[in-house]
Amino acid sequence: MTNPLKKIWLSPPHMSGKEQMYIDDAFNSNWIAPLGPNVDAFEDAIADYVGLSHAAALSSGTAALHIGLKLLNVQPGDLVICQSMTFVASANPILYCGAIPVFVDSESDTWNMCPDAMEEAIRAATKGTLKHADGSRIPAKKPKAIIPVHLYGMPAKINDIKAIADTYDIPILEDAADSLGSSVDGKKCGSFGDLSVISFNGNKIITTSGGGALLSNKKSTIQYARNLASQARDESLYYQHSSIGYNYRMSNVLAGIGRAQLTVLNERIRQRRANFEKYIAFFANYPGIESTLEKNGMLSNRWLSSFTFNPKQLSGVDSKAIIEALNKSNIEARPFWKPMHLQPLFKNAPYVGADIAEHTFIRGVCLPSGSALNDNDFDRIFSTLQTILNY
């Protein structure tokens, strides 16, 4: 049976209308290649927006994280600290490098990496007291990199994280995949790390269909990233190669979509933030429903409107019941990302912290957050939520 109601998606692409023009440019000039004028212009525009000097446009955010770890010289057996509550794409590249992820708990204000737990992880790793989940000890080693995430657009306590990372002299690979346009004290997410990553996947705040970028203030670093992402060819007339390369560059056709999308990014942020305010107003009548708050100069792009539901304060209604009720009304809602230290893939990985990530995950629901949601959509979402929350 088909549901007669139009599907309300979690976070669908939202075109500006100008994308086709840039795509036509690529076709008319026959730049149907993983390079070209759209890529160059998109790289400049994205670096400029984030407030850095250089960007490499790549095939995905995951590819950007992989190249980022390569640039930080992450080798097999190295330790890389990573936020546990995140999308698996933050952590998979650690495995691509043969390194060991050290997962760290969240704090309850932003749901992102807890700076205290992070410092504990650095100390344990350096002292040789860090353990795999099966109890086996990991030989003393200073972590090679730290991957904090700005989950669902909400900035992490990145200044605290950076101060600790600086103290121990460990570089930060900032996963800003979700948080294009978010900021702390006016400084954009993606500009705090030694290297940073943005994603333009189809469900992100702006999209190139699929794509990502690696950013840095160092020209030579980004030039090297572009080289690694195009099979690491040596400077030579011949096809000569001295190191392992990848085929990770962004297509000039897709970069055209990105150029048009960037022109409406600030509008998309306004629209997503307005969605969040509507949910906040609606949930004000209910106890036990919480989200992250913008404190200490933080501004979230509110990529996904995400809330935790405490069944003890909601007559037993839990996140699963909410998701099921919405899905039944043809409204897409999703659980939070299951923390990495609870994943079968990472079952033996070391973990530092308590159970904040786990509790947040259990209670969390991502609600429809698209920038084209209209009043009718919200009427449907709220009437469904009302029915389940009032029973």
Ligand X SMILES: *Cc1c(COP(=O)(O)O)cnc(C)c1O
Find the shortest distance in angstroms from Cβ 51 to ligand X.
Answer: 20
x-marked contacts with ligand X along 178-197 as a string, rule CB under 6 A: x-------------------
Contact region with ligand X (CB under 6 A), list: 54-62, 94-102, 218-226, 291-299: 54-62
Segment 194-213, which members bind ligand X (CB under 6 A)? 199, 201, 212
Per residue, the 3-state secondary structure of 243-267, as one string, reads: CCCCECECCHHHHHHHHHHHCCHHH
Residue closer to ligand X by CB (options 256, 329) is 256
Find the shortest distance in angstroms from Cβ 89 to ligand X.
Answer: 4
Q: Phi and psi for 377 in degrees, rounded to 5?
A: -60, -45
The one-letter code for the residue type at 32 is: I
Of 11, 38, 62, 261, the one binding ligand X (CB under 6 A) is 62
Find the shortest distance in angstroms from Cβ 61 to ligand X.
Answer: 3
Residue closer to ligand X by CB (options 90, 384) is 90
Of 119, 175, 194, 332, the one binding ligand X (CB under 6 A) is 175
Strand order in the sheet with 100-104: 145-147, 79-83, 100-104, 351-352
The one-letter code for the residue type at 245 is: G
For the chain, state the CA radius of gyration: 21
Q: What is the rounded CA–CA span in Å between residue 382 and residue 310?
A: 18
Crossing angle for the helix pair 61-71 and 219-228, to the nearest 10 degrees: 120
x-marked contacts with ligand X along 241-270 as a string, rule CB under 6 A: ------------------------------
SS3 at position 386: helix
Contact region with ligand X (CB under 6 A), list: 28-36, 57-65, 99-107, 282-290: 57-65
x-marked contacts with ligand X along 77-106 as a string, rule CB under 6 A: ---------xx-xx----------------
Find the shortest distance in angstroms from Cβ 156 to ligand X.
Answer: 11
Find the shortest distance in angstroms from Cβ 150 to ligand X.
Answer: 8
CB half-sphere exposure, 182, CA atoms < 13 A: 33
Does 61 bind ligand X (CB under 6 A)? Our answer is yes
Cβ distance 105 to 356 under 8 Å? Answer: yes
- Where residue 260 falls (left for φ over 0; alpha for ψ -120 to 50; beta otherwise) is alpha
> What's the CA angle centered on 239, arms 238 and 244, to 5 degrees?
145
Find the shortest distance in angstroms from Cβ 57 to ligand X.
Answer: 12
**Tokens, residue 384:** 């469904």
Find the shortest distance in angstroms from Cβ 29 to ligand X.
Answer: 26
Find the shortest distance in angstroms from Cβ 86 to ligand X.
Answer: 5
Residue whose tokens read 């060819």: 233
Of 81, 149, 213, 264, the one binding ligand X (CB under 6 A) is 149
Q: What is the largest CA-CA distance in the chain?
A: 73
Does 300 bind ligand X (CB under 6 A)? Our answer is no
Cβ distance 323 to 334 under 8 Å? Answer: yes
Residue closer to ligand X by CB (options 89, 130) is 89
Distance of CA 312 to the CA centre of its chain: 30
364: nearest Cα among 85, 159, 170: 85
Of 8, 82, 114, 177, the one binding ligand X (CB under 6 A) is 177
Find the shortest distance in angstroms from Cβ 254 to ligand X.
Answer: 12
Does 60 bind ligand X (CB under 6 A)? Our answer is yes
Q: What sign results for the dihedral spanned by CA atoms 63, 13, 252, 189?
A: negative
Number of neighbouring beta carbons within 10 Å of residue 258: 26
Find the shortest distance in angstroms from Cβ 275 to ligand X.
Answer: 18
Residue closer to ligand X by CB (options 291, 329) is 291
Residue closer to ligand X by CB (options 147, 222) is 147
Residue closer to ligand X by CB (options 66, 259) is 66
**Tokens, residue 82:** 């990573």
* Residue number of the CB atom closest to ligand X: 61
Cβ distance 172 to 165 under 8 Å? Answer: yes
Residue closer to ligand X by CB (options 173, 317) is 173
Residues that bind ligand X (CB under 6 A): 60-62, 86-87, 89-90, 149, 175, 177-178, 199, 201, 212
